[in-house]
Amino acid sequence: MISPTAEYALRAVVAIAQANGEAAATQSIAKLTKVPAGYLPKVLQMLGRAGLVDSRRGLGGGFRLAKPAEELTVLEVVNAVEPIKRINKCPLDLKTHGGNLCPLHKRLDEATEHVERSFAQTTIAALLAQPGRSTPFCDEPGNRTCGVQLGTQLSTVPEGSPKSRRHKALIEWSRDHTLGLAVAKHLTESSSKGGDDRRLALQEFLAAWRDNLADHFTQEEECLLPVLRGKGDAKRLQKEHAAIRANVELAGAFVDDDDIDATWLLGVGKLLHDHIRWEERELFPSIEQTASKEELQRIAQHVADARTGTRGKSRKRSPTKRKPKPR
C-alpha cells in the first residue's frame, strides 16, 4: 500500500505527537517506533524539509510537530517522503492508450484515489484519539498514554505547572475532544464536496459517536452536572448535548441518502466544533477553579472506572455523594 519509508515517517510523526509538545530525541523515537536508527535521521530530515516537524539542537533538543496534530493529515506525512502516485497515463506507454486508461489501470487508479482521499481526511490527532484496545507503541492494554515516553507524561506533570493543560479528572475528556474536533472538521469540509465525501463524513461521525462520543456525553452529564456552580452552564451543557444527540438520529436516517443536505451537514459540524471549544475554553477551566478536590477526585475515579471495565454499560453510581433526604 505504502513504502517502508512512508510507514517509518508515519510512525515517527505519531510518536512525536504523543510527546505532548515536548521535544523528542532521535534515539528515543527510533527505540520507540523500531525504525532503524541509521535511517531515521533521513526520514526526519524529509519531514523537516516539508515543514511538518521542527528540530532543535543541544540540551533539551529534539523534534516537535510544526503544526497541530489536529491539522496534520496522514496524506501530508506520506507525500512528504514518497508521494502517492496516480495513474494518469498508460504505464506501458502504449500510444493508442495515452490518457485513456484500460479497465485494469483505471481500476487501480480508482483504488489509489480512494486511499489518497482517506489519508487526506484522517488527521494524526484522529489516529491518537481513536478508541480501541491498543495504543501506538504500547504493550500495556488499556493505557492510552504509555506511548508518551518521549516527553513529559501527562499524569506526572505537577498540577499548576504551565505544562499541565488539564486536571487529571478532565484529561480523558480532553483527549476525546481531539477526536470530536477532527470529526467536526471533516463534517464541515465535506459539506462543500460531493455526495461520497459527505456520506463518508457522516459515517465517520456515526462511528465516533458509537465508539466514543456517546459514552463521553453520558459521563459528562453524570459527573459535571452535580458540580456546576452556574445554572447557565448546566442548561447549556444539557441543551447542546440534546441537540447533538438529535443530529445523531438524523445522521443515521440520512447516511444512505444519495444527496445529503450540505447546509445541514455544515451546521452539524459547526455545532459539534463550537460545543467542544466552549467546554475546553470555558467550562473545563471553570470547573478546575470552582470544584473541590474531593469532587475532582470523584470525577477522576468515575471516569477511570468507566473506561477500565464498564465502558458502554449502564452505570448506577454517582460521582458525587448525595445527602440523605430528611424523614
> How far is it, in rounded angstroms, from Cα 231 to Cα 238?
11
The answer to whether 116 and 37 have CB atoms below 8 angstroms apart is no
Q: What CATH number belongs to 4-129?
A: 1.10.10.10
Residue 57: what pLDDT?
Answer: 75
DSSP 111-150: HHHHHHHHHHT-BHHHHHH--SS--TT--STT-SSTT--S
> How far is it, in rounded angstroms, from Cα 69 to Cα 179?
11
Task: Note the Cα 148 to chain centre separation in Å.
Answer: 15
Residue 313: what pLDDT?
Answer: 42
Q: What is the pLDDT of residues 297-310, one digit of tens each?
A: 999 898 888 766 54
> How far is it, in rounded angstroms, from Cα 181 to Cα 259?
24
> How far is it, in rounded angstroms, from Cα 146 to Cα 278?
28
Q: What is the pLDDT of residues 25-65, one digit of tens each?
A: 888 888 888 888 778 888 999 999 999 999 887 656 789 99
Average pLDDT over residues 232-240: 94
> How far is it, in rounded angstroms, from Cα 14 to Cα 52?
12
Q: What is the pLDDT of residues 185-226, one digit of tens each?
A: 889 999 998 888 888 889 889 988 988 899 999 999 999 999
Q: What is the pLDDT of residues 89-126, one digit of tens each?
A: 888 888 778 778 888 888 888 888 888 999 999 999 88
Residue 61: what pLDDT?
Answer: 72
Average pLDDT over residues 7-35: 87
Q: What is the pLDDT of residues 132-175, one digit of tens each?
A: 556 676 655 544 444 444 433 333 333 333 333 678 889 888 88
Q: What is the pLDDT of residues 260-293, one digit of tens each?
A: 999 999 999 999 999 999 999 999 999 999 999 9
Percent of the chain scored above 70 by pLDDT? Answer: 81
Q: Which residue has the higher pLDDT, 327 or 83?
A: 83
> How far is it, in rounded angstroms, from Cα 55 to Cα 64?
7
CATH class of 167-307: mainly alpha
Closest CA to 306 of 220, 207, 225: 220
Residue 248 has which C-alpha cell?
Answer: 445523531
Single-letter code of the amino acid located at 135: T
Residue 205 has which C-alpha cell?
Answer: 461521525
pLDDT bracket for residue 9 (50, 70, 90): very high
Residue 79 has which C-alpha cell?
Answer: 507525500
| Mean predicted lDDT score pLDDT of the chain | 81
Residue 154: what pLDDT?
Answer: 32
Residue tagged 487508479 (cell numbers): 109
- Residue 294 scores a pLDDT above 50: yes
Query: Domain-by-domain residue ranges, the chain?
Result: 4-129, 167-307
4-129 and 167-307: identical CATH topology: no
Residue 140: what pLDDT?
Answer: 52
Tell me the β-bridge partners of 289. none
SS (H, E, C) 246-306: HHHHHHHHHCCCCCCCHHHHHHHHHHHHHHHHHHHHHHHHHHHHHCCHHHHHHHHHHHHHH
The answer to whether 151 and 17 have CB atoms below 8 angstroms apart is no
Residue 132: what pLDDT?
Answer: 58
Residue 156: what pLDDT?
Answer: 34
Residue 295: what pLDDT?
Answer: 93
The answer to whether 112 and 2 have CB atoms below 8 angstroms apart is no
- Quickly list H helices, 157-213: 171-190, 195-208
